[in-house]
Structure 1
Amino acid sequence: MATIKLVILPHAVLKDGTHRIRIAVNHQGITRYIPTRFKVETLTQFRDGQVLNRPDAHTLNIKLRNLLNDYEERLYNIPSLQLYSCTQLKEILHNGTTIDKPSTFQAVATEYIEELRQDKRDNYATLLERNCRYFTNFCKGDILLASITPYIIQNYVRYLKKNYRMNDTTIDMFISRTRTIINRARKQNLVHYDIIPTSVHKIQSPPERELDITIQEIITIRDSSPEERKLIVARDVFMLSYYLGGANLIDILSYDFRNTSHFEYVRTKSRNTKTGDKRISLTIPSEAEPIIERWVNKNTGKLDFGYKFSYSNFSRYMNRGIKSLAESLHIKHKVTYYSARKSFVQHGFELGIPLEILEYCIGQSMKKNRPIFNYLRIMRDHADKAIRTILDNLKLDYPH
């Protein structure tokens, strides 16, 4: 158990011959010292944590007691003391601040998970929830954000490898989710780090997913005439995403298509993670209108495929349908819902459409390494022309 007390070090004499009063932090059989601003002139003026033989001894003792009380409260609020070395504990105490409601990892994670569930991003919320459970289990309880150090992250990696036999790729995923919560706390000014804890673990870039399909394969899906309802839904949802600039499923399903000729929205995925209004505004192309008309609920304006289960279940149902449809059409490439988005960008790029316009269409952040475009505002007209170019290209004859 960690303890703290007031001491002076007889051998540590200052240049003026005085002795500085320090706070001794004892933990795991090791002692480290935090210097205070208080000094005594001789060793006889300090004994058993008390200032003696001075006219101002009473005043100094009150100040020292208040200071020690402050450090004791900081010590009390640090969970999982066994995770820290004495040196680390000393740094946490020395750099800590007194706050009414300490910000903890679990508190920030829980708040973010609730936001994700409200936005129907249940899959990602579940992944963060799982990591939060593993991390708090590792820490033997919730942990202050200010207490998270690179040393703890390194030990968390070892913990995941030893207890769950995770490979490096899976561990990278969990550390990435841990980093997400830490970065969220940093953006909210809940915590400040000299060294970001997760920086000690290098996360490998995931391999590029080759999910785009050819223009002819898009045409094959578009012109297919499946009889099974599941495959009809898969075809229509897939093509609608392609027609609407690679829009995500959740954004299409939550949109009110009543009395509008435009598809104007903020991506659910980036709504709570980016500053500013990342609004996308597109004119609904004529190719998309029959699909919307076929499935729109006249009362709500939203697409209704007669599927009454959760969004996550429908997403899986729809992806299975797309896979089955592609197989029935003898498409050799792997096809998922994401293939519509990926193919839209790839086809646009091959047609010479500037990346900045394609990024606007799909709601992707413009890259910071292209500063000239910080002054370029991509408007609906640019996006409409780009989409029209891509969709008109589907009307050309391509070899089968």
Structure 2
Amino acid sequence: MATISLKLDRRRANARGLFPIQFLLSSKGKVTTIGTGINVLPEHWNGEIHKAVVPKCPNARAINESIEALFFKYSNSLRELDIDGRLAGKSVSEIKKLLTSSHKGSDKESLTAYFSRYAESRRTEKSREVYRYTLKAIRAFDSKEITFEKVNVIWLKAFDAHLEKQGAGINTRAIHFRNLRAVFNSAINEDLIGLEYYPFRKFKIASANKDKEALTEEQLQRLIAYETPYPFRRTARDLFLLSFYMCGMNLVDLFHLDRLRDGRAHFVRTKTSGKNINPVSILVQPEAAEIIARYAGTDHVLRFAEESATYQTFNNRIQKAIRAIAQELNIEGLTFYWARYTWATLADKLGISEKEISKGLGHVDTSIAGKFYISYDWTKVDRANRAVLDYIQKKW
């Protein structure tokens, strides 16, 4: 009889250094794998069916419950197939196809059930909340357990009309549909459903461009000169400027940055880590180096990741402090993300090419040549960034 076990595939990590958890299907000396869609750090791997990851692994309980549930589903399906005599003479790849086909048809592995499992496997709590929000909206629209097959273009249009009727704006609806699309893509990658069930080929996700907010030069200069008796507001101001000095680097990437090499920050943006394997390389300018020295960590560039607060808690405190600064300086709507918009806006004003601005911001290169064949010269971004900082200093 075919058997199934659990393994961590350590052959190749993804962009975040995580390895995939897989089921190992064996029959007559041949083996194949079945994906789970869950990736973890090797030090978090425990390897037991009832306890795949250790408690310190983020979202450990949900991962362990998902793995255990999948194992029993596959094991039960194998027994049923064996009793029915449907495994006789079958190769391991044929057994996998039977097993995953049986798994697809299970009521427990409906779209909504899989969506919940996918949501709980996300890396950050913020991301998990976004997917839970979409699942809640789906269940409010269709309270039944929804199969993948049911979600076609007609269903998507009806769901869109329902969301609009409920007052959801075009960008909120776009978030829901992008989340739903990601779940379909994951299910296809795990061989839970076939490509024929993918409904987004003929359904366009509409969205509206948000107005990008940037500090004026005068506002930026006031922020640079800003002084406060409140230590954490000073920290928030410093990190905002550090983001600006580092080409609009996101706060989450500053928080987790764990290496400088040859005076450069090398990192893969958290936001695009699933799409981009090429790291961003930003030269640490003197203005940035001064701030980094003020908050230097032991194992990280900045010390904040080594303190007790989670990133989400830290981010909430920073955003709150930025709002307080905005009120003091009378800058309506200021958020940390304005550092990114401000850098890009000034770079564009100085005539820096869109290519260099995009690379500095860490955008994913969608061209084949850019992805695989061209070794980018990051000194172009260095010169662009220096031009922006010099411009601000001259204005000051």
How high is the TM-score relative to the length of structure 2? Answer: 0.64
Question: When the two structures are aligned, how many residues end up with a matched partner?
Answer: 296
- State the match for 1:290 in structure 2: 290
1:218-276 deviations in whole A, cap 9, x for unaligned? 2221221121123101101101111111111111101125776211000111112x1x5
Instruction: Report what 1:76 is aligned to.
Output: none
Question: Which ranges in structure 2 are unaligned for 5 or more consecutive residues?
Answer: 1-80, 85-97
2:377 paired with 1:387: no
The counterpart of 1:263, out of the listed 262, 265, 273, is 265
| 1:253 corresponds to which of 249, 252, 255 | 255
Which range moves more in the overlay, 244-253 or 299-308? Answer: 299-308
Specify the code of the residue in structure 2 equivalent to 1:166: G
Distance apart, 1:135 and its partner CA = 2.2
Q: Residue 156 of structure 2 is aligned with which of 153, 160, 167?
A: 153
| Structure 1 pair 203–327 and aligned structure 2 pair: CA distance change class (3 A) | same
Name the aligned partner's letter for residue 354 of structure 2: L
Deviations 1:30-72 (A, max 9, x none): xxxxxxxxxxxxxxxxxxxxxxxxxxxxxxxxxxxxxxxx9xx
1:350-384 superposed Cα distances (whole Å, 9 cap, x missing partner)? 1111111111111112465x989997543221121
> Do structure 1's residue 336 and structure 2's residue 335 form an aligned pair?
yes
Q: Give the TM-score of the pair, scaled to structure 1.
A: 0.63
Q: Is contact 1:360–1:378 with CA below 8 Å preserved after alignment?
A: no
Shift of 1:128: 1.0
Residue 317 (structure 1) shift: 1.9
Partner of 1:321: 321
Residue pair 2:233, 2:322 contacting (<8 A) in 1 also? yes
Matches of 2:151 and 2:103, distance apart in 1: 17
Structure 2 vs 1, CA of residues 336 and 105 (structure 1 numbering), >3 Å: closer, same or farther?
Answer: same
Larger Cα-atom Rg? 1
Residue type at the aligned position of 2:155: I
The residue correspondences of 1:64-213 to structure 2 (distance < 5 A) are 99-102=101-104, 104-106=110-112, 109-110=115-116, 112-117=118-123, 120=124, 122-136=125-139, 138-160=141-163, 165-169=166-170, 170-186=172-188, 191-193=193-195, 196-198=198-200, 202-213=204-215
Taking the aligned partners of 1:343 and 1:318, their CA distance within structure 2 comes to 18
Between the aligned partners of 1:382 and 1:258, the Cα distance in structure 2 is 19
Change (3 A) 1:131 1:316: same
Hey, what's the Cα distance between the residues in 2 that align with 1:107 and 1:209?
36
Please tell me the residue identity of whatever aligns with 1:381: T
| Larger CA deviation: 177-186 vs 303-312 | 303-312
- 1:295/1:305 contact within 8 Å kept: no
CA distance in 2, matches of 1:378, 1:145: 41
Compared CA separation, residues 167 and 301, structure 1 to 2 (3 A) = closer
Partner of 1:352 in structure 2? 351
| Cα distance in 2 between the residues matched to 1:367 and 1:382 | 19
Counterparts of 1:173 and 1:346, CA distance in 2: 26
Letter in 1 for 2:168: N
Please give the alpha-carbon distance, in whole angstroms, between the structure 2 residues aligned to 1:381 and 1:240. 19
Distance 1:389 1:148, change over 3 A: same
**How far did 1:178 drift?**
1.8
Q: Which whole-Å CA distance do the structure 2 matches of 1:307 and 1:269 have between them?
A: 23
Paired with 2:230 and 2:206, the residues of 1 have a C-alpha distance of 42
Moved more, 378-387 or 335-344: 378-387
Instruction: Give 1:200 shift.
Output: 6.0
Is the Cα–Cα contact under 8 Å of residues 257 and 300 in structure 2 kept in the other structure? no
Distance verdict in 2 for CA 1:112–1:243, change over 3 Å:
farther
- Percent identity over the alignment is 21
What CA distance in whole angstroms lies between the structure 1 residues aligned with 2:348 and 2:361?
Answer: 13
Structure 1 residues 307 and 218, CA, compared in 2 at 3 Å: closer, same or farther? Answer: farther
SS in 2 for 1:205: coil
Q: What is the aligned counterpart of 2:239 among 232, 237, 240?
A: 237
Question: Following TM superposition, where does structure 1 have runs of at least 4 consecutive aligned residues deviating by more than 6 angstroms?
Answer: 370-375
Using a 3 Å threshold, how does the CA distance of structure 1 residues 111 and 239 change in structure 2: closer, same or farther? Answer: farther
Structure 1 residue 130: Cα displacement:
1.9
SS of equivalent residue, structure 2 residue 181: helix
Say if 1:258 and 1:301, in contact at 8 Å, map to a contact too. Answer: yes
Correspondence for 1:41: none
- Tell me the distance in 1 between the aligned counterparts of 2:370 and 2:255: 35
1:285/1:111 CA distance change after superposition, 3 Å? farther
- Does the aligned pair in 1 maintain the 2:214–2:345 contact within 8 Å? yes
